[in-house]
Amino acid sequence: MDIKRSYYEDIELFKSNTILVWSILFLVFLGILPWLVKAYHLLGMSIYILNLITINALVAIGLNILVGYTGQISMGHAGFFAIGAFTTVIFIVNWSFPLYIALPIAGFISSAFGFILGLPALRLKGPYLAIATLGFGMSITTIIKHMEFFGGRMGLQAPKLYLFGTPMKDIHYYYVIMIIAVLMVIGALKLIKTRVGRAFIAIRDSDIAAEAMGVNLTYYKTLSFAVSAFYTGIAGGLYALILGFINPEGFTMIMSIAFLAMVVVGGLGSIMGSIAGAALLTYLDIKLQVVQDIPAIGPALVAFSQKYMSMAGISNIAVIVYGLIMILIVLFEPLGIFGFWIRTKRYWKTWPF
Amino acid sequence: MLGQLIVSGLAVGACYSLLALAMVIIYKTSDVLNFAQGEMAMISTYVAFTLMESHHVPFQWAVILTFLFAILLGASFEFVFLRQAKEPTVLGLIIITLGFEMILMGFAGWKWGPDQRSLDFPVSNIETYNLFGLVMSKINFWTIVISLVLMFILFLFFRYTKVGVAMRATQQNQLAARVMGIRTKWILSFTWAISSMVGAVAGMLIAALGVLDPTMMMDPLLKSFASAVLGGMTSLPGTAVGGAMLGIIENLFGGYVSLAFKSVVAFAVIVLMLCIKPSGLLAKHYVKKV
């Protein structure tokens, strides 16, 4: 049943008609999602949150290509995110490029930085790589903060964009972002199945063995950094647009950790897992920022804060929950949401047994 | 000017050294890179602050109680979280410490709010000493002295006490150490406790030099990573030297080249060092055998 008879069958996106049908249904669902959200306020969602989830999903996919598939650790993706955001805004505002040119340029500049970071990363492994990328992420924001060209500490105002003469709102951005995201998800799925993706996976499993098999480590490791940075850069550009305002203080180390958390919670080496992880953590983050509004738990937490903690820092509960989720996932479900999904699927397939 | 910059760089560097030492002690023993080190130190410093501010405990008792708290914090983190990880990967361990870092940071933000506070240190940071024609604030002087004393104690501890020797044995070969009758699990908890205590000293000194707030450790954390890399991750004397060097390099860069980009120096040092001599200044390099 699952025998592959040719190479093209192996790299095919839709393995069976069932998957094709479900994928199309899912795309239709994504298309009408804004109306559903508007009409029913599902779980207190808004279109802005949907946009944010999609953008974070893009970053998580990019980071997963690097961390989950190639096995390189990066704790500096907020740096690429910032590069993408600032490049997009500057190209649109200062040099009045249209969005569809500025966004790819931002992606490519970001991936150029990814390539540069990939060069020292060739010699580094594990914890050392984590330190170096952490330093990269923090340095990028420091440099941006101290250069007048990037608006300095004040940051930059994102441009107002027009679609056929009308100013774009969240709903318009939703479709723009979703089209880009669907294309990039398909791109990532394809990339992993082809020669490049298999080289990445070989490097993850054992780089020495991969080199012995003829995988060019220099080429593929830097390529992995570049692709990952490209995804993050594009997402950064979109983030600047929906936020309307960017300043370097926003792109902190916490943001890099949050991206890493999305990948790990979603499942290492799984594109769909990344999307799920990004959706879950982004949603939790936004909802827990205003923890006092949650019914039942909210007032209790407020009372507790007033008695023992401080009210000014109640939004920090979001950070605590984030940290707990990260630790619990690593301890109890190392494959994340994806691993949970696989186990559930296997359970139902072999149900009576 | 030059001497002045070197002296004040040395004081900051001493703090980096202590934080980096705390990190290296753990890294050597258990191969865990502790990203929560900075936040563990920050929480301990907040405990000292609360004891002195709200409960009016005298300074020396506050310090001793803080040490006890730090020991408990480090050992319990190892016991509750790290020990539960079965066959952890490098990334898994990093994620666990990152998660702990976020929990601690969130807790500090929740409990004490985002306000900047100042730790009451019995040494003034306005009065100065005059040493060999160099002006030096009292706090800088005492920071250097305290760090040197602590490093010396650590050296004696690792060289001459039974527990210290057992820790070194565990570092070299955990299985062999266990065969020799060393309770390696206890040793791991103990390592975390000591590291957390050293970190708490670093945290208090950094808070005394600057301010106390939940994000104060972000920058020193990167700096101490840089110091550890400079000294070679597995060498305690190397790390101490590396921290001092980083403090001086950074201050000279800030004084002569550009003050704004001072904090990028640490990153440059990390990358240069890792490219030129990945093993660090004073550590032996082991290449992985297949």
Q: pLDDT by residue (tens digit) across A212-238?
A: 999 999 999 999 999 999 999 999 999
Q: Which of A52, A105, A63 is nearest to A229 (CA)?
A: A63
Poorest-confidence range of A192-201, B75-84, B197-206?
A: B75-84
Per-residue pLDDT of A45-85, as tens digits, reads: 788 888 999 999 999 999 999 999 998 989 989 999 999 99
Total domains present in chain A: 1
Q: Which of B151, B27, B44 is nearest to B94 (CA)?
A: B27
Q: Considering the domain boundaries, does residue B266 fall inside one? A: no
Q: Considering the domain boundaries, does residue A139 fall inside one? A: yes
Q: Please indicate if any CB of chain A lies within 8 Å of the CB of B27.
A: yes
pLDDT of residue A54: 93
Q: Which amino acid, one-letter code, is at A179?
A: I
- Token pair for residue B75? 């050992």
Q: How far is B44 from chain A (nearest CA, A)?
A: 17
pLDDT of residue B282 exceeding 60: yes
Asked whether the beta carbons of residue B95 and residue A322 sit closer than 8 angstroms, the reply is: no
CATH of the domain at A99: 1.10.3470
Burial letters A289-316, b for 16+ CB under 10 A, else e: eebeeeeeeeeebeeebeeebbeebbbb
B71-97 average pLDDT score: 86
pLDDT of residue B266: 84
Q: Considering the domain boundaries, does residue B290 fall inside one? A: no
Nearest to B102 among A67, A313, A323 (CB): A323
A257-268 average pLDDT score: 91
pLDDT range class, residue A18, cuts 50, 70, 90: confident
Q: Considering the domain boundaries, does residue A1 fall inside one? A: no
How far is A55 from A125, CA to CA, in rounded Å? 29
Q: Which of A63, A66, A124 is nearest to A255 (CA)?
A: A63
Strand partners, B136: B129
DSSP conformation class of B136: E
Q: What are the residue ranges of helices labelled H in B31-161?
A: 37-53, 59-80, 90-112, 138-160
Q: How far is B100 from chain A (nearest CA, A)?
A: 6
CB B5 within 8 A of CB B185: no
Q: Considering the domain boundaries, does residue A257 fall inside one? A: yes
pLDDT of residue A262: 92
How far is B60 from A66, CA to CA, in rounded Å? 49
First to last CA, chain A: 22
Domain that holds residue A120: 39-349
pLDDT of residue A53: 93
Residues 225-244 of B with CB under 8 A from A: 225-226, 229, 233
CB A294 within 8 A of CB A287: yes
Mean pLDDT in chain B?
85
Domain that holds residue B179: 2-216
Q: When comparing pLDDT for A326 and B31, which is higher?
A: A326
Q: Please indicate if any CB of chain A lies within 8 Å of the CB of B106.
A: yes
- Token pair for residue A44? 């207190």
Per-residue pLDDT of A86-123, as tens digits, reads: 999 988 888 888 888 889 999 999 999 999 988 888 87
- Token pair for residue A290? 């205003």
Give the relative orientation of helices A217-243 and A77-93 as an angle to the nearest 10 degrees.
60
User: SS3 letters for chain A?
Assistant: CCCCCCHHHHCCCCCCHHHHHHHHHHHHHHHHHHHHHHHHCHHHCCHHHHHHHHHHHHHHHHHHHHHHHCCCCCCCHHHHHHHHHHHHHHHHHCCCCCHHHHHHHHHHHHHHHHHHHHHHHCCCCHHHHHHHHHHHHHHHHHHHHCCHHHCHHHCEECCCCEECCEECCHHHHHHHHHHHHHHHHHHHHHHHHCHHHHHHHHHHHCHHHHHHCCCCHHHHHHHHHHHHHHHHHHHHHHHHHHHCEECHHHCCHHHHHHHHHHHHHHCCCCHHHHHHHHHHHHHHHHHHHCHHHCCCHHHHHHHHHHHHCCCCCHHHHHHHHHHHHHHHHHHHCCCHHHHHHHHHHHHHHCCCC
Total domains present in chain B: 1
Q: Considering the domain boundaries, does residue B155 fall inside one? A: yes
pLDDT of residue B3: 81
Q: How far is CA A271 from CA A59, A60, A109, B62, B95, in A?
A: 11, 8, 24, 50, 19
Token look-up 């953008």 returns: A55
Token look-up 């666990």 returns: B96
Q: Which of B148, B146, B147, B193 is nearest to B167 (CA)?
A: B193
Q: Considering the domain boundaries, does residue B224 fall inside one? A: no
3-state secondary structure of B262: coil
CB B74 within 8 A of CB B197: yes
**pTM for this one?**
0.90
The ipTM assigned to this model is 0.86
- The fraction of chain B above a pLDDT of 70, given in percent, is 97
Residues of B within 8 A of A132 (CB-CB) are 267, 270-271, 274
State the number of CA atoms in the 13 A half-sphere of B21 facing the CB: 30
Q: Considering the domain boundaries, does residue B141 fall inside one? A: yes
pLDDT range class, residue A310, cuts 50, 70, 90: confident
Q: How far is A249 from chain B (nearest CA, A)?
A: 12
Q: How far is B102 from chain A (nearest CA, A)?
A: 5
pLDDT of residue A160 exceeding 90: no
Q: Considering the domain boundaries, does residue A149 fall inside one? A: yes
3-state secondary structure of B182: coil
Q: Which amino acid, one-letter code, is at B28?
A: K
Q: Considering the domain boundaries, does residue B176 fall inside one? A: yes
3-state secondary structure of B137: strand
Instruction: Kindly report the backbone phi and psi dihedral angles of residue B134, in degrees, each rounded to the nearest multiple of 5, phi listed first.
Output: -105, 140
Q: Considering the domain boundaries, does residue B30 fall inside one? A: yes
DSSP string, B45-74: HHHHHHHHHTS---HHHHHHHHHHHHHHHH
Q: Please indicate if any CB of chain A lies within 8 Å of the CB of B90.
A: yes
Asked whether the beta carbons of residue A330 and residue B102 sit closer than 8 angstroms, the reply is: no
Q: Considering the domain boundaries, does residue A343 fall inside one? A: yes
Q: Considering the domain boundaries, does residue A21 fall inside one? A: no
Asked whether the beta carbons of residue B103 and residue A123 sit closer than 8 angstroms, the reply is: no
Nearest to B222 among A135, A313, A325 (CB): A135
pLDDT of residue B285: 59
pLDDT of residue B124 exceeding 60: yes
| Burial classification of residue A5, based on how many CB atoms lie within 10 Å of its CB (0-12 exposed, 13-18 middle, 19 or more buried) | exposed
Residues of A within 8 A of B98 (CB-CB) are 257, 260-261, 323, 326
How far is B176 from A153, CA to CA, in rounded Å? 55
Q: Which of A58, A194, A211, A62 is nearest to A122 (CA)?
A: A211
pLDDT range class, residue A336, cuts 50, 70, 90: confident
pLDDT range class, residue A159, cuts 50, 70, 90: confident
pLDDT range class, residue B287, cuts 50, 70, 90: low
Q: How far is CA A38 from CA A47, A167, A285, in A?
A: 8, 20, 21
pLDDT of residue A12 exceeding 70: yes
Residues of B within 8 A of A260 (CB-CB) are 95, 98
Q: Considering the domain boundaries, does residue B236 fall inside one? A: no
- The fraction of chain A above a pLDDT of 70, given in percent, is 99
Q: Please indicate if any CB of chain A lies within 8 Å of the CB of B61.
A: no
Nearest to B99 among A73, A127, A327 (CB): A327
Per-residue pLDDT of B222-280, as tens digits, reads: 889 888 888 878 788 888 899 999 999 988 988 888 777 887 888 888 888 877 877 77
**Contacts with B53 (C-beta within 8 Å, 6 or more apart), sequence order:** B120
pLDDT of residue A63: 94
Q: How far is B35 from chain A (nearest CA, A)?
A: 10
Q: Which of B186, B171, B183, B264 is nearest to B226 (CA)?
A: B264
A315-329 average pLDDT score: 88
Asked whether the beta carbons of residue A135 and residue B112 sit closer than 8 angstroms, the reply is: no
Per-residue pLDDT of A116-158, as tens digits, reads: 988 888 877 778 888 889 888 888 888 888 887 777 777 777 7
Strands B134-137, A156-157: parallel, antiparallel or unpaired by DSSP?
unpaired
pLDDT of residue A261 exceeding 60: yes
Q: Considering the domain boundaries, does residue A9 fall inside one? A: no
Handedness of CA A216, A219, A220, A221 (dihedral sign): positive
